Amino acid sequence: MKIIMLGAPGAGKGTQADRIAQEQNIPHISTGDLFRANVGGGTELGMRAKEYMDRGALVPDELTVEMLFDRVAAEDCRDGYVLDGFPRTIPQAEVLKKELEKRGDRVDLAINVDVPDENIVRRMGGRRACPKCGATYHIEHIPPKQEGICDKCGAELIIRDDDKPETVQKRLSVYHEQTQPLIEFYEKEGILRTVDGTKDMEQVFSDIKALFA
């Protein structure tokens, strides 16, 4: 099963992708996490990506596409994957479609996690991320068992550089301009399903599971 998560920054794509990945036993691939790993590791790709990420802009398609295809070529992706944060532009969606078509393959499902802008700003303010394993928490809605510490790996949680209010506004406008058109793209492909992302995490996940039934 090849699944795409669509939605504004902070809509809960990563949170749900993680659950889907466990349930379906496929890898969760987040281009944001891949970029952050490169930034943390000081790679050339990381250095180039950072200047865009810090401004709340998208990293250019060429860099993003190459990194993504490297990752999905790995053995663990053979039976499918859930993509979180890719595609984010129409050209990215077109490249993905073309590459899959070459192998007689296609995306099975595009899940749009729908959350209005006013909720987003609140969500991002409370987001805490694990720099080591990529797990995500929310100080009010999804707190870790021990404040400031990752449940999964014990690392100290951080606030992402790009979760500052000014950058969040910029990312939202980038989302509306460049990413939202993908909703229509996948609607035309006949594989778009929308869930109400304002519900609590468990409810959203059960709405998503109903899509697989």
**191 binding partner (options ligand ADP, Zn ion, none; Cβ < 5 to 8 Å by kind):** none
Q: What's the residue count for the chain?
A: 213
d(C-alpha 21, C-alpha 80), whole Å: 10
Among 48, 97, 141, 164, binds ligand ADP (CB under 6 A): 141
| Residues with Cβ within 8 Å of residue 166, at least 6 apart in sequence | none
Among 21, 58, 192, 195, binds ligand ADP (CB under 6 A): 58
Tell me, yes or no, if 97 is annotated catalytic.
Answer: no
Among 150, 174, 182, 204, binds Zn ion (CB under 5 A): 150
**55 binding partner (options Zn ion, ligand ADP, none; Cβ < 5 to 8 Å by kind):** none
In 46-86, which ranges are E strands?
81-84
By the 8 A CB rule, do 67 and 53 touch? Answer: no
Q: Kindly write out the interface string for residues 97-116 of this chain, putting x where it contacts ligand ADP by CB under 6 A and - elsewhere.
A: --------------------
Provide the sign of the torsion angle of the four alpha carbons 205, 179, 120, 21, taken in this order.
positive
Catalytic residue among 160, 170, 193, 199: 160
* Phi, psi (degrees; rounded to nearest 5) at 44: -60, -45
Give whichever of 80 and 85 is closer to ligand ADP, judged by the CB atom: 85
Could you tell me the smallest distance in angstroms from the CB atom of residue 113 to ligand ADP? 7
How many C-beta neighbours within 10 Å does residue 60 have? 12
The verdict on 7 binding ligand ADP (CB under 6 A) reads yes
The tokens for 20 are 């889907």
Where along the sequence are the contacts to Zn ion (CB under 5 A)? 130, 132-133, 135, 150, 152-153, 155
Write out the catalytic residue numbers: 13, 88, 127, 160, 171
